[in-house]
Amino acid sequence: MTDSLSAQEFKANYDEAAVPSYTLPDPLVAADGKPIDSAEGWREVRRPELLELFRSKMYGRAPGRPADVRYELEESSQQAFGGAATRKQVTIHLTKQANGPRLRLLLYVPNKRTGPAPAFLGLNFSGNQVVCRDPAIQLTDRWVREGEATDGNRATDASRGSQTENWMVERVIERGYALATVYYGDIEPDYEEGWRRGVRSVFPVDGKAKATPAAQPITKFRDDDWGAIAAWAWGLSRVLDYLETDGDIDARRVAVIGHSRLGKTALWAAANDERFALCVSNNSGEGGAAISRRRFGETVWRINTSFPHWFCTAYKQYNNREDDLPFDQHELVALIAPRPVYIASASEDQWADPKGEFLSAVNAELVYALLGKTGLGVTAPPPVDKPVGETIGYHLRTGEHAVLPFDWEQYLNFADRHLRAN
């Protein structure tokens, strides 16, 4: 295979017998070859090394927290879902400029509670109005991917509640959790030149990763500057900044969740921002939880060809060269340790390599064990629809590439064990 091969001509491998032999890098061997045998060694030596590798070679470097953020509560009602929840719609302004980049946060908080609520935070694909059938939700005015509920690339009222099953907002509220979501297109539209209309056009990345608006327009990126996934992950941290100021939310108990490309985003957000107490990766596949060296389903070349804006430029040097990667995705999962992480696959989603996602969970367990946590607890893939794991959770759900009510029940159960334990 060469880089001149088109994405349409690509033939994915779905045969386990055709998976090449490979050796995974050991997350507990430092760059100088010395073994890491203590929590201090992980924290002070190996974890920073791995973060640097992923930042410089795959996701790219993001800036820090903006200096001029302000929050605007645009609407609030305690009568959402018949009085079961309080709905808030908050605009997060990232600069002083009135026309500068901003994120529109939709937040539901259960009214029946004894204190600040734990929360799930995730980005949505099509605008906040899709997550449930609440007519008060503001319709996004940003670019959206063209589909049945759009007029060109603009969302229409027909999109309201179109992804209710994927979000299960009322069930989340019933279980005692808040639900926070932002449209990922608020951060950066998802196409190759989308950065020109997103945060990457405004905030430069320098050696100190400052988040100061650029004095001059940004026209190009360095090899290790942030890609779109890093930008979306950065946006999740900006939402968490706000949640820390909201007295209705226990910001120490926020789970970051994502599906597909946004599952990749959730993993990278949790790896970078240790304030996230728990991470859920749903069908994240290549560039997320799946082992890249397996070359099963989507590959590094294929993802870089189809979505050249997702990762930093330096990642393209590993097209068709997975064995040369100085890391693999089990080490991304390990970067979340000792915090709980849940990885989910779907039986019909071979493109995302369910076995490769499971193997990342298995091979991250070394780090969890070093830090005194029971990770997955099994080495063989579980039966379909049978969740396994302790601090690392996993299931293979019957069905296609999606996040469904069965998935949400497992995530809520997992959160009950870990976010409500104390």
Residues annotated catalytic, as ranges? 260, 401
Tell me the torsion sign for CA atoms 149, 151, 154, 158. negative
Residues forming a β-bridge with 378: none
The tokens of 177 are what? 């959790």
**Which sign, positive or negative, has the C-alpha torsion 155, 157, 160, 163?**
negative
Note whether 343 and 358 are within 8 A (CB).
yes
Given a contact cutoff of 8 angstroms between Cβ atoms, the answer to whether 267 and 230 are in contact is: no
Q: Environment class of residue 51 by beta-carbon count within 10 Å: exposed (0-12), middle (13-18) or buried (19+)?
A: middle
How far is residue 230 from each of residues 151, 294, 381, measured CA to CA in Å?
29, 24, 30
Give dist(CA 411, CA 255) in Å, integer: 10
Rg (CA), the chain: 20
Q: Which residues on adjacent β-strands are paired with residue 155?
A: 150
Q: How many CA atoms lie within 13 A of 381 on its CB side?
A: 18
Q: What share of the chain is helix, strand, coil (3-state, %, to 5)?
A: 35, 20, 45
- Cα–Cα distance between 381 and 79 in angstroms, integer? 44
Other Cβ atoms closer than 10 A to 398: 11
Length of the chain counted residue by residue = 422
State the Cα–Cα distance between residues 302 and 315, nearest whole angstrom. 12
Report the alpha-carbon distance of residue 396 to residue 414 in Å, rounded: 15
Determine contact, residues 183/142, Cβ cutoff 8 Å.
yes
Categorise residue 248: left if φ over 0, alpha if ψ from -120 to 50, beta otherwise: alpha
As given in the structure block, the two tokens for residue 140 are 């996004």
